[in-house]
Amino acid sequence: MDSNAKHTILVVDDDKFLLTMYQTKFGKAGWAVEASLNAAEALQKLRDGLSPDAVMFDIIMPGVDGVAFLETIKKEKLAPRAALVALTNQGQEDGSIEKVKALGVDGYIVKAALIPSEVVEMVQRVVDGRKK
C-alpha cells in the first residue's frame, strides 16, 4: 500500500468491474486501496491487522452478504476507527438498508445514483465528518 496516501480504504464488492473501477478512482484521489471480491476475504484482511479509515462494502454478495459482514465487523470490533459505507442497488426492497443503518453504518450509497468520482467525494466527507 502507498505510505504517502492520505487515507486507506477497504472496498468489498463481488463485481470485479466495479471493484477495479473504485480501486482506480480512490487511488487517483490519493487513497491507499485494499480490495476484496468477497466478505470472507475482507474479514480476513481485517483480522490480519488491516486498519482502514473507511470500509465500503456491497450489501448483496454471494456467501456472506453485506449485512452479515457488517454484523461481524461490529461483533469482532474489527476496523473500529473506520467509516463504514454500504453500497446498495436502487430500489432494494428487502430491508437491508434499514438493517445496516440499525447496525450503525456511517453512510450508504445507491450505486446507480452516483458516478464514481461522487462516490469518492461522499466517502471522503463521511471520513472527514467522523474525525471532528
Domains defined for the chain, CATH in brackets? 7-127 (3.40.50.2300)
Half-sphere exposure of 21 (CA within 13 A, CB side): 13
CA-nearest of 18, 37, 27, 13 to 115 is: 18
When pLDDT is averaged across residues 101-117 and rounded to a whole number, the result is 88
pLDDT digits (tens, 9 = 90+) for 65-105: 999 999 999 999 999 999 999 998 766 666 787 888 888 89
Query: 7-29: per-residue pLDDT in tens?
Result: 999 999 999 999 999 999 999 99
**Global pTM value:** 0.91
CA distance 123 to 85: 7
For the four alpha carbons of 103, 72, 61 and 123, in that order, the dihedral sign comes to positive
